[in-house]
Structure formats: structure tokens, C-alpha cells
Amino acid sequence: GVLSGVVVARLMGPQGRGELAAIQAIPVILPMIAGLGGWQSVVFFTAKNSKESGAVLGNAMVMALVACVPICLLGLALQNHLLAAYSIPVLQAGSIYMLYVPLTVFFAMPWSAFHGLQQFQAFSLLRLQPQLLYMGVILTAYLFGHNTPSWIMNTHIVLLTCVCVPTVWLVYARFVAKP
């Protein structure tokens, strides 16, 4: 939030900050559309019937990931149109950053199940991961002089993909591998 915004502004200057905002504009909105209200549904139905939490979460994730395909294709077309006046590296980073949509749906949907089950420690840890990761990328860029929007966005996507591994493990351990 506030800290990353200040660091990015200092690191990249007005033009770089504008390019970064342009790359992020569409992909950060689309997960809410692709989620199809799944986050709220998972919280509600998991709280209502905890024995069915795995099925509820699984159904919501499948629906959201299926919805990601057309939404990402439309988002990519819109992203390419909006970034057409920018440089090729910015356009490429914008296309790659569209992976943010399915990645966010994939690792954020389980937050809702933990929330519905009132397992707030797991909920909080999972929810903090992407923000801490993004701040780590920004601070690394600042410390090592990687002040291009494409480096920041591409590094963020690679690390976000890596964050999915512990999320999948935690979700599997809680909802699938029940004794």
C-alpha cells in the first residue's frame, strides 16, 4: 500500500510509476470478476456446513478457473489495446502479468475456506503472502537498481507462482488429506 507506493515512486520516477500502474490496471481487477462471487460463497457455505468445505472449495475453484479463460483472453485484448502506445518491454510485461488473474484465483480462493472455518491464523498467513511478496520485490528492485516495470512485474509473477506451492500443500493437508 502506502510504503510500496512511496518506494516505487522514488525508484522509478513518474514515467516508470505510470508504466507500472498501466501494466497492473487490468489484471488486478479481473480476479474479482473471474471469482464469480466464489470467495463469499465459500465463506458462507463452509461456515454453514464444515463437513462439506472441501467440496465447496473445490467447486468454487473449478468454476473460477474455468471462468478465467475467457476473462483472461478478453483482458489480454484490452491490455494490449491500452498498452499499445508503450514500449515493447512494457507491452510484454503487461501480457505476462495477465497470469496474475488465474494465480490470484488459485491461491486466494482457499483463504475463504479458512475464514469460513474460523481458522484465522491460516487465513491471515495466506492473505499476507501476496502483499509481503510484492513489497519484497519492490525492495529488491530498490536495493539492486532494477528500476524497470517489466523486471518488477515479471519477478512478481514468478514469485507469485512459487507462493502457490505452499498454498496448495496447506489446502491439501486441510481439505483433502483428512484422516
Q: How confident is the model at residue 10 (pLDDT cuts 50, 70, 90)?
A: confident
Give the pLDDT confidence score for residue 90 in this predicted structure: 92
Residue 107 · residue 163 · CB < 8 Å: yes
Instruction: Encode pLDDT of 104-161 as tens digits.
Output: 888 888 888 889 999 898 888 888 888 889 899 998 998 898 888 999 999 999 999 9
Give the pLDDT confidence score for residue 163 in this predicted structure: 84
For range 17-45, the mean pLDDT: 90
For range 155-170, the mean pLDDT: 85
CA distances, 113 to each of 84, 117, 124 (Å):
40, 6, 12
For range 82-104, the mean pLDDT: 93
Please state, in angstroms and rounded to a whole number, the distance separating the CA atoms of residues 33 and 19: 24
| CB environment 97-122: b (16+ within 10 A), e (fewer) | bbbbbbbbbbbbbbbbbbbbbeeeeb
Of residues 31 and 4, the one with the higher pLDDT is 31
**Residue 51 identity (one-letter amino acid):** K
Write down the H helix ranges in 26-148: 30-34, 38-48, 53-82, 88-96, 100-116, 120-144
Q: How confident is the model at residue 167 (pLDDT cuts 50, 70, 90)?
A: confident
Give the pLDDT confidence score for residue 145 in this predicted structure: 86
Please state, in angstroms and rounded to a whole number, the distance separating the CA atoms of residues 132 and 160: 11
Give the pLDDT confidence score for residue 47 in this predicted structure: 92
For range 33-61, the mean pLDDT: 89
Give the pLDDT confidence score for residue 68 in this predicted structure: 92
Of residues 152 and 171, the one with the higher pLDDT is 152
Q: Calculate the average pLDDT of the chain.
A: 87
Q: Is the pLDDT of residue 53 over 70?
A: yes
Give the pLDDT confidence score for residue 1 in this predicted structure: 63
